[in-house]
Amino acid sequence: MDTSVPVLVVDDYSTMRRIIKNLLNQIGFTNIEEADNGAAAYDKMRGRKFGLVISDWNMEPMTGLELLKLVRADSALKATPFIMVTAESKTENVVAAKAAGVSNYIVKPFNAETLKTKIASVL
Amino acid sequence: MAGLKVPKDLTGEQYIAIEDSLLSSEQGRAFLRMRDKRGAVLAVDEYLNGLRSIKEWIERSNQRSAEDVHLEVLRKELIEMAASIRKAKVEISAMKPAGEDNANSARRINLATEELDAIVHSTERATTDILNGAERIMEINSRIRDTGLLLEAEQIDQEATNILMACGFQDITGQRISKVVSTLRYLEERVDAMIRIWGVDGVMPEELATMRRDTRPDAHLMSGPPLRGGVDQSTVDELLNASPDTIDWGAAVAASAANAPEPAAAMPAKPERKAMEPAAPDAEVASALDQSSIDSLFP
């Protein structure tokens, strides 16, 4: 697993961004940026190439699913690994995310081991 | 017919005189018999007509009574509906009492919403403090690791990570509470709309007021943790340590008000952000997937 890639953590709860950032640090990632909604994340992605996006689903004004669809529709960004981390755990949510091209999906609350495993599976 | 004169009725004496005159001759007696027969026929006809009219009236009455039964049922239903609406109006008006007991209080639903907002913000502050602590432990642990205590450092790191992960509760509970807040706000809007339509604002029937009143002698002192207007520990300590004669109660109350936090309504609308995110209430549990089920979708 290449831990030198820049990672973008997208969540409207600063607590959750902080938790994920700490876990990423433990795994060995040091190049981490944050965004608090899909629109802000997309702006960052257009300005810089990220090797991994870890995003919440329910945010405003742009949700994680909208961000995912934008990323997959953008020829310059569509190959970016994208992990959804969300409390949305209904079947239709997972199916919709998969249809939109999500790389992996983590249900909140999650543990450190799950995050590590999922990151390893997409990098 | 202007010249035709209507004869007056006979007097009793005139009638008897004419009848006696007729009875005195054969033809007169025959005339009287014939007149009696015709009179009897006419009476029977009138009797039959009367019976027919009564029969028709009874038939019409029977038809009307069936309609009346339906009307009566409708009337009762309407009365019951009216009673239910009256009861609903009373209940709704009681939800937003404007009586003396609540003169300075916000509306109850508003209060509940503010309490929940306060919970979200309190847990957020607490979570931040816990995260700060966990991060400091990790920093210190890196120095412990440098001393060569690798196993201990690894264990401490593991525990610090567990603390970090446990802080994720704030996100989940925040979302759940935000859903409740959204529902309360929706209810409040609907109640407001009904109150406007029915014009029941401020109505508080005495029986409801009595029923809902806390009758404990110190009820007026119990309202739970204050959203605003509370005093801090140092003020409490000062009050406890001061001599009763030296306490300036007016100043103490003013200080308490000055220390009050901003109303919850003025706080950032962070809870709303998660209003649409389901937090897997019981009704949704059946359709929720666990992590292993999701993993099977990503071979």
Identity of residue A12: D
Q: What are the chain B neighbours of A106 within 8 Å (beta carbons)?
A: 291
Of A17-21, A78-82, B39-43, B248-252, the least confident = B248-252
Q: How far apart are CA A69 and CA B102, in angstroms?
A: 52
pLDDT at B39: 85
Contact at 8 Å (CB) between A22 and B164? Answer: yes
Is the confidence metric ipTM above 0.85 for this complex? no
Give mean pLDDT, residues A60-80: 94
pLDDT band at A54 (very low <50, low <70, confident <90, very high): very high
pLDDT at B136: 93
CA closest to B175 among chain A residues: A87
Q: Which residue has the higher pLDDT, A22 or B227?
A: A22
pLDDT at A69: 95
> Which one of A21, A36, A58, A116 would you mutate to disrupt binding with B, by most B Cβ within 10 Å of its Cβ?
A58
CA closest to A85 among chain B residues: B291
Contact at 8 Å (CB) between B114 and B106? Answer: yes
Q: Which residue has the higher pLDDT, A91 or B150?
A: B150
**Crossing angle between the packed helical segments B26-95 and B169-198, to the nearest 10 degrees:** 140
A104 backbone dihedrals φ, ψ, rounded to 5°:
-160, 170
Longest dimension (CA), chain A: 34
Q: What are the chain B neighbours of A95 within 8 Å (beta carbons)?
A: 297
Q: How far apart are CA A115 and CA A111, in angstroms?
A: 7
Q: How far apart are CA B97 and CA B191, in angstroms?
A: 12
Give mean pLDDT, residues A1-25: 93
Identity of residue B122: S
* Pairs of residues, one from chain A and one from chain B, whose beta carbons lie less than 8 Å apart: 98
List of domains in chain A: 7-110 (3.40.50.2300)
Cα angle A34-A39-A42, degrees, rounded to a multiple of 5: 70
Of B292, B164, B166, the residue nearest A89 (C-alpha): B292
Contact at 8 Å (CB) between A66 and A38? Answer: yes
Q: Tell me: cis bond preceding B97? Omega within 30 of 0 counts.
A: no
Q: How far apart are CA B107 and CA B189, in angstroms?
A: 12
CA closest to B159 among chain A residues: A112
CA B286 to chain A, closest CA, distance in angstroms equals 9
Does B26 contact chain A (CB < 8 Å)? no
Per domain, the residue ranges of chain B are 20-90, 106-201+267-279
With a cut of 50, which residues of chain B have pLDDT below it? 1, 100-106, 259-286
Q: What are the chain A neighbours of B289 within 8 Å (beta carbons)?
A: 89-91, 94, 107
Residue B70 in tokens: 């339906």
- The dihedral through the CA atoms of B49, B55, B58, B63 has a sign that is negative
Does A109 contact chain B (CB < 8 Å)? yes
pLDDT at B280: 41
CA closest to A103 among chain B residues: B298
The β-bridge partners of B139 are none
